[in-house]
């Protein structure tokens, strides 16, 4: 009896084991549940015409090709972030494009602004603010009003004008839009010093700080992916994209003692007012100098 029981127990274990491995093998080859059948991560063939403002990326250089490939891959397969950037680009590019044209900056530099801030009005860990991520001292140097009450780094029109002036000045210095973009990240002095020390005259031949090493490649990758979203697997409908509601502009040359009450006059809340005028940092506008400010009020 004991031997029979032992034999049956061993037989049961054997049967369970066989069933288990059969199930495992089935999962490995089942085309319905197998990850490799339902989701493919493909290598990307780099386009040969990648450029920034017409200045071609020298993909024939192995290190350049690898660095460019990295940024294309990151911005393609980080799908949630990529889709958000596409949606926000639809919201802010229509504002930036005519401004860049007005101030003489190539259209490609709208992707620099996107790379800097992802079009989020937040202050970075080092104190850079606005969609162009200006540091306080640099903004003041170029004429922006920056204090506790007013911070024009958050004013799209004014900060775009200043960014254009900075980049055009850098272009004249380096005779290269690519180096001008690098200088926006690392500073003109820092770029000049590296080029001089290494006896090179272009971005792709210079050894730069890690962040700057990736900076221009990221801008170009964003340009490529966002300009050709379907090519890189992004699928959406027009109504999925973000848009900026229409506004009208009113001019104010006096103080506003209470923005909440001021906003109510136009049928909007304090929050709505700040969405369109983030450069006003408090619930008031001091304006002791009687400066003329332009304030946006949504019309929809």
Task: With cut-offs at 50, 70 and 90, classify the pLDDT of residue 29.
Answer: very low
Task: With cut-offs at 50, 70 and 90, classify the pLDDT of residue 145.
Answer: very high
**Mean pLDDT, range 163-188, rounded to an integer:** 97
Task: With cut-offs at 50, 70 and 90, classify the pLDDT of residue 108.
Answer: very high
If you average pLDDT over every residue of the chain, what do you get? 89
Dihedral sign for Cα 13, 18, 22, 24, please: positive
At 13 the pLDDT is 44
Mean pLDDT is lowest, of 18-27, 46-55, 76-85, 232-241, for 18-27
Percent of the chain predicted with pLDDT > 90? 82
At 67 the pLDDT is 97
Q: How far apart are CA 52 and CA 143, in angstroms?
A: 28
At 290 the pLDDT is 94
Mean pLDDT is lowest, of 35-44, 97-106, 150-159, for 35-44
Shortest CA distance to 85 belongs to which of 97, 74, 100? 74
Q: Strand 293-298 and strand 51-52: pairing?
A: unpaired
At 218 the pLDDT is 98
SS3 (DSSP) at 52: strand
Residues 6+ apart with CB under 8 A from 192: 173, 174
At 6 the pLDDT is 41
Mean pLDDT is lowest, of 12-21, 137-146, 177-186, for 12-21
Residues 250-261 pLDDT 10s: 999 999 999 999
**Contact between 222 and 65 (Cβ < 8 Å):** no
CATH fold for the domain made of 54-240: Lysozyme (1.10.530)
pLDDT at 297 over 90: yes
At 42 the pLDDT is 86
**Mean pLDDT, range 107-134, rounded to an integer:** 92
Q: How far apart are CA 43 and CA 59, in angstroms?
A: 16
Q: How far apart are CA 132 and CA 156, in angstroms?
A: 8
At 76 the pLDDT is 94
* Residue-range domain boundaries for the chain: 2-35, 54-240, 247-298
Residues 196-209 pLDDT 10s: 999 999 999 999 99
First to last CA, the chain: 88
Task: With cut-offs at 50, 70 and 90, classify the pLDDT of residue 40.
Answer: confident
């Amino acid at each position: 009896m004991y031997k029979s029981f032992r034999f049956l127990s061993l037989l049961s274990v054997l049967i369970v084991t066989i069933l288990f491995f059969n199930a495992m093998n089935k999962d490995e080859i089942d085309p319905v549940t197998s990850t490799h059948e339902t989701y493919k991560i493909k290598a990307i063939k780099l386009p040969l015409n990648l450029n920034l403002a017409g200045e071609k990326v020298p993909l024939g250089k192995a290190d350049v090709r690898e660095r460019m490939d990295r940024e294309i891959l990151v911005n393609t397969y980080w799908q949630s972030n990529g889709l958000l950037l596409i949606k926000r680009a639809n919201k802010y590019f229509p504002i930036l494009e005519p401004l860049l044209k007005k101030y003489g900056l190539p259209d490609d530099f709208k992707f620099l602004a996107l790379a800097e801030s992802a079009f989020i009005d937040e202050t970075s860990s080092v104190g850079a603010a606005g969609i162009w991520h200006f540091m306080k001292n640099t903004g003041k140097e170029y004429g922006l009003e920056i204090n506790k009450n007013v911070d024009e780094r958050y004013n799209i029109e004014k900060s775009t004008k200043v960014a254009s002036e900075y980049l055009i000045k850098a272009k004249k210095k380096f005779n290269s839009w690519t180096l001008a973009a690098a200088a926006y990240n690392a500073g003109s002095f820092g770029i000049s010093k590296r080029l001089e020390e290494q006896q090179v005259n272009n971005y792709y031949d210079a050894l730069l700080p890690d962040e700057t090493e990736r900076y221009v490649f990221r801008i170009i990758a964003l340009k490529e992916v966002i300009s050709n979203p379907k090519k890189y697997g992004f699928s959406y409908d027009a109504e999925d994209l973000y848009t900026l509601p229409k506004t009208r502009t009113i001019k104010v040359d006096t103080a506003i003692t209470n923005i909440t009450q001021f906003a109510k006059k136009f049928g909007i809340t304090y929050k709505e007012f700040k969405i369109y005028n983030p450069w006003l940092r408090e619930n008031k506008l001091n304006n002791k100098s009687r400066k003329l400010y332009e304030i946006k009020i949504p019309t929809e």
